[in-house]
Amino acid sequence: MKNDKIWLSSPHMGGEEMKYAQEAYDTNWVAPLGPNVDAFEEDIANFLNVCHVSALSSGTGALHLALVLLNVKPGDEVIVQSFTFAASVNPISYLGAKPILIDSERKTWNMCPDALVKAIEDRLSKGKKPKAIIPVHLYGMPAQMDRIAEIADHYAIPVIEDAAEALGSKLKGIKLGTWGKLGFLSFNGNKIITTSGGGALVSKDKQLIDKSRFLATQARDQAPHYEHSQIGYNYRLSNILAGIGRGQMKVLQERVRQRRQINKWYRSILNIQPGLTFQSEPSDDYYSNYWLTAMTLDPNQTGGIGREALRLALEEKNIEARPLWKPMHLQPIFNNCPFYSTGVSEQLFNQGLCLPSGSNMNQEDLGCIEGVLNRVLSLSLVDGKI
């Protein structure tokens, strides 16, 4: 009998995290600045190539600062993917700006470039030029950034990539987070690597990142006393937590490999089943970290088994699975926002489920999951050893 819960995605330490955290403690760098913060930023910059990085207290805070850096003001409009976690949209509201929601396309499940063009044209015709575009790389899958970047360039609107779930993913060999004018990452507890809580803002533009550090430390002007000519924030990452981040960066590549292996394993045991569709890389240009393995179940083809039936069956065995993100245009708080529909995200929400994808699951865990999938979907199983 197995009593431990199998989580959707739980923290997975690499072993060196405590060494750096202890160093911070021993040298009394117990503050939201210090050697670990600097080194963690450098590790991320090296991993992403050609990027400047500021380590922050959350991904949400990083997006908030990105919008401030792009001068988003009350009454402005900001374009964002509807099919996402609320944190992709909330910071727009913090600034009194208005979210313009864009539906997804079927290939990557992310922002539809055609709907994006329609939205921009429509907003322009109403006399409003959007201040930014926020595509999201859901579950690690790259959005069609090449097309989105082209559209953004054409209309001269800056892109902020929400790469919170996509550290280690690539499109056409270019790491996600570095396609846009700005990008942000999250190191929350359930992400592919974690600092327990944390985030980062990344850009090729050094000035923007320098400015983000200034804003994140209460916007203190150069003076012997505390002088302020701008509104500031307290958004820097703790030097202790950055130590955890340094340890986690050492195992990032391994974590990506493990998540992709888990995704492959699910496919090996489920692909033969009609009515199941995985979120999949549309071509060799796409490389997902497969942070979470996500699929849809069409009850018309699975003998009536929908995503709720499967979710509840897993829950009964203490295994966490979660419906796909409920789109923002369906959320009570955002359902008044302009929305440019393709119909895709509603169908994904109705039929989709995220399966347990933590890199620290063992053979026994996988066996439990496989047992439930087998029972519920009555699979003719192939031998799917991971």
Nearer Cβ to ligand PLP, position 133 or 269? 133
59 lies in the binding site for ligand PLP (CB under 6 A) = yes
Among positions 179-198, residues that touch ligand PLP (CB under 6 A) are: 186, 188
Among positions 80-109, residues that touch ligand PLP (CB under 6 A) are: 84-85, 87-88
Structure tokens of 341?
């529909």
Nearer Cβ to ligand PLP, position 176 or 297? 176
Report the DSSP beta bridge partners of residue 101. Answer: 80, 339
**Phi, psi dihedral angles at 322 (to 5 degrees):** -140, 140
Structure tokens of 312?
């509840």
* Residue 9 near residue 190, CB atoms below 8 Å: yes
> Which range in 162-170, 207-215, 256-264, 313-321 contacts ligand PLP by CB under 6 A?
162-170
Nearer Cβ to ligand PLP, position 187 or 287? 187
> For ligand PLP, how many residues bind (rule: CB under 6 A)?
14
Return the half-sphere exposure (C-beta side, CA atoms, 13 A cut-off) of residue 126: 12
Strands (E) across the chain are located at 52-56, 77-81, 98-102, 132-134, 160-162, 170-171, 174-175, 182-186, 199-203, 276-278, 286-287, 293-297, 322-323, 339-340, 352-355
Report the C-alpha dihedral over residues 31, 37, 39, 40, rounded to 10 degrees.
140
11 lies in the binding site for ligand PLP (CB under 6 A) = no
Q: Looking at 48, 95, 136, 201, which residue binds ligand PLP (CB under 6 A)? A: 136
**What b/e readout covers 159-172, taking b as 16+ CB neighbours within 10 angstroms?**
bbbbbbbbbbbbbe
Structure tokens of 256?
């990506």
Q: Cα–Cα distance between 102 and 81 in angstroms, integer?
A: 5
> Which range in 54-62, 140-148, 250-258, 308-316 contacts ligand PLP by CB under 6 A?
54-62
Structure tokens of 262?
């888990």
> Which range in 117-125, 160-168, 209-217, 348-356 contacts ligand PLP by CB under 6 A?
160-168
- Minimum CB separation of residue 59 from ligand PLP in Å reads 3
Nearer Cβ to ligand PLP, position 103 or 165? 165
Q: Looking at 113, 158, 199, 327, which residue binds ligand PLP (CB under 6 A)? A: 199
Q: Looking at 76, 105, 165, 281, which residue binds ligand PLP (CB under 6 A)? A: 165
Nearer Cβ to ligand PLP, position 98 or 137? 137
Binding stretches for ligand PLP (CB under 6 A): 58-60, 84-85, 87-88, 136, 162, 164-165, 186, 188, 199
